[in-house]
Structure 1
């Protein structure tokens, strides 16, 4: 008798989904099943979820198709109505064994009533060189363009002791880089006893897991980076020289209409401080093109932010009106104009990235080798292709020999 097909988990969207997909993989072990862990950050992300569902059914017609994640949480009925879908499981339920043991076609709890979270991670991340650790979930802010709070619920934090124990276990199992993830990572802690901050959590991790070699943080809200976290980002060698900032726009009026809590000047000042304290730190940022009411001058301010903030890891997408959000009711920019502006932002971001990559040629760097062994990322998160394969999961010393528009090439230095 041939063994049953292994379950497949398709993870769309953020790093938090990647972390949670590992737990789902363990919960559905031994089943002929494809789980699509969906994203709802834009309409395009929801469309990509539907495409993934249909492809999964074509590729594995006998497998049970289950949809979970933010898109499934926000609009379970539409996914349950798809002929390819067998079950829909919500975000509050997908990390519990009970939901996967149930037979109900739709298991979606009220996410707004969830007030605690847990580390929710498998013992290891066999498919990844780095491990992703959920320390926070949900969001209490209400940016006018964003539907994610309705997919993730209120902000809630994982107790520091549980985080430290999980990271220590992952390091003991061989992981040399850990990424802290969350929906609104810098809001970590107010719901916990003593109201610890993200900076205090990072300090505790570094102190109690001395064998941890590399710590990376996912997207940060710059306005919430306090002095303690700033000092760690710029002064601790085990924290990678790479920050991804949730800017969204570079025009003050658009930021106000987005209901963001920072100004353009505050974004520029933060990056200037980061670069002054740690010159090699690489800046990533989220930027939205064509937000409602955005005119040419407002867009120019956002485009200029790429150079003003030395953004070399841009995450750019055209504004997508999400049903039920305030921005969807504002005067809209024409879809074609949104797409054109997004293309111009990407072009500016690619130029900034290429110029930065060129400055790294000739330098020596430490590379975390990723599957299949011929590539990886250095501390500033630049992608590197190796001239000779190495063992995935190893950290090797390399010399950067060249740069293309999106990645570096390198040779391995003698041990």
Structure 2
């Protein structure tokens, strides 16, 4: 190996952090870093699988593990014979943890979309979630720090900026004056007229402030794509999850947004088979897909995580959890197919990726000609759709 290899699993925040780790380790060789995820038991399984695969591909390299699983599953991962060491999740962006110079120069991201982590950690205590154990309390970058990061990526030619974090809508709560997220987004839009596309990562709908709502509703450079940290469609389950919103809050938010910006695409995280979930609760979870028009669905079969209150609640039988997850996936797939059909024969501005596809402003995936340069913005009018793609 001529340079360090960084393998990223899990969320967009991990993607952003992996790019920073890659920059810090640019001069290192014979090193593999697995930036792990622990949000579900399946994520931990995939982390272990990635570690074993990386060791087979690089038998002589030093293999280090960081990320949430490196804290939450520390003893189990440390016992793996493939692992040479662990770097604590809270220290993974500290050059000293990797024994490299702190002044290691940043490098441009090898991506068409630049992910900027505007905050980290979470102050909430959802009963199913283990992430605060691996990420700690919410910490925000200042507006000046975010603007500096945006400028750096724009200077490297990034056509789209994605603002991400663990609990993005909690940004600013720990800063002087507790500025709302909308204030940061407004600052980015006003400071960089050359910025073509600004996309938001997953948001807690109940914390979308009035200014951020208005930017989603009316600012063309804020992409018409809202991904909600929804989790469920039944109020009782939401209360048992210790979420801060009810079903009606999400319905009203989406109704108001679509009233002002009809083309906005809705995404959402939904958990299948949460403890105590009945068939009635599951039916409500299914029905919210159609009611909100969820076309970007992230479906998670519930799995008990260590040390969480939900792990001590009455569990739903695993086969039932799997069936309900499959039904949720089928419902979101149908909603997505109907939505894609509505986009056929209409022109769309598409940001080209490196795999021969690209994304519209509302995050519909489009097949592009092989000659399309990665990072370019092209106008395309699809004539058909299939397998989740416009063509």
After TM superposition, the score normalised by the length of structure 2 is 0.97
User: What is the match of residue 99 of structure 2?
Assistant: 101
User: What is the match of residue 11 of structure 2?
Assistant: 14
Q: 1:310 to 1:77 in 2, by over 3 A?
A: same
Correspondence 1:308-327 to 2 at 5 A = 308-327=291-310
Among 139, 146, 149, which residue is 1:166 paired with?
149
Quote the Cα distance in structure 1 between the aligned partners of 2:241 and 2:47. Answer: 26
Quote the Cα distance in structure 2 between the aligned partners of 1:367 and 1:122. Answer: 28
- What displacement does 1:389 show? 2.5
- What displacement does 1:122 show? 4.1
User: What is the match of residue 58 of structure 2?
Assistant: 60
CA deviations 1:31-63 (Å, max 9, x no partner) are 211111000100000010000000100111011
User: What is the match of residue 107 of structure 1?
Assistant: none
Quote the Cα distance in structure 2 between the aligned partners of 1:360 and 1:171. Answer: 29
Quote the Cα distance in structure 2 between the aligned partners of 1:337 and 1:142. Answer: 26
SS of the residue corresponding to residue 6 of structure 2 reads: strand
Matched residue pairs, number? 387
User: What is the match of residue 111 of structure 1?
Assistant: none
8 Å contact kept, 1:179–1:218? yes
User: What is the match of residue 278 of structure 1?
Assistant: 261
- What displacement does 1:174 show? 0.4
Q: 1:258 to 1:121 in 2, by over 3 A?
A: farther
User: What is the match of residue 108 of structure 2?
Assistant: 124
CA deviations 1:304-361 (Å, max 9, x no partner) are 0000000000000100100100000000000110000000000000000000000000
- What displacement does 1:78 show? 1.5
CA deviations 1:148-169 (Å, max 9, x no partner) are 0111000010000011011012
SS of the residue corresponding to residue 401 of structure 1 reads: coil
Quote the Cα distance in structure 2 between the aligned partners of 1:186 and 1:385. Answer: 32
- What displacement does 1:5 show? 2.4
CA deviations 1:122-160 (Å, max 9, x no partner) are 44212x111000101000000000000111000010000
Q: 1:195 to 1:369 in 2, by over 3 A?
A: same
User: What is the match of residue 395 of structure 1?
Assistant: 377
SS of the residue corresponding to residue 162 of structure 2 reads: strand
Question: Is 2:245 the counterpart of 1:245?
Answer: no
- What displacement does 1:77 show? 1.8
Quote the Cα distance in structure 2 between the aligned partners of 1:262 and 1:97. Answer: 39
Quote the Cα distance in structure 2 between the aligned partners of 1:387 and 1:95. Answer: 38
- What displacement does 1:387 show? 3.5
- Please report the RMSD computed on the Cα atoms of aligned residues, expressed in angstroms: 1.3
Unaligned 5+ segments in structure 2 are: none
CA deviations 1:339-388 (Å, max 9, x no partner) are 0000000000000000000000000010101104x211110001100144
SS of the residue corresponding to residue 355 of structure 1 reads: helix
SS of the residue corresponding to residue 255 of structure 1 reads: helix
User: What is the match of residue 110 of structure 1?
Assistant: none
Bigger mean CA offset, 342-351 vs 88-97: 88-97
SS of the residue corresponding to residue 245 of structure 1 reads: strand
Correspondence 1:12-411 to 2 at 5 A = 12-29=9-26, 30-101=28-99, 122-126=106-110, 128-372=111-355, 374-409=356-391
8 Å contact kept, 1:353–1:405? no
Quote the Cα distance in structure 1 between the aligned partners of 2:123 and 2:106. Answer: 27
Quote the Cα distance in structure 2 between the aligned partners of 1:330 and 1:390. Answer: 52
Q: 1:47 to 1:241 in 2, by over 3 A?
A: same
8 Å contact kept, 1:20–1:121? no
SS of the residue corresponding to residue 212 of structure 1 reads: coil
CA deviations 1:64-107 (Å, max 9, x no partner) are 111000010212221111100001001111111100018xxxxx
Quote the Cα distance in structure 1 between the aligned partners of 2:323 and 2:11. Answer: 25
Unaligned 5+ segments in structure 1 are: 103-119, 410-415
8 Å contact kept, 1:306–1:349? yes
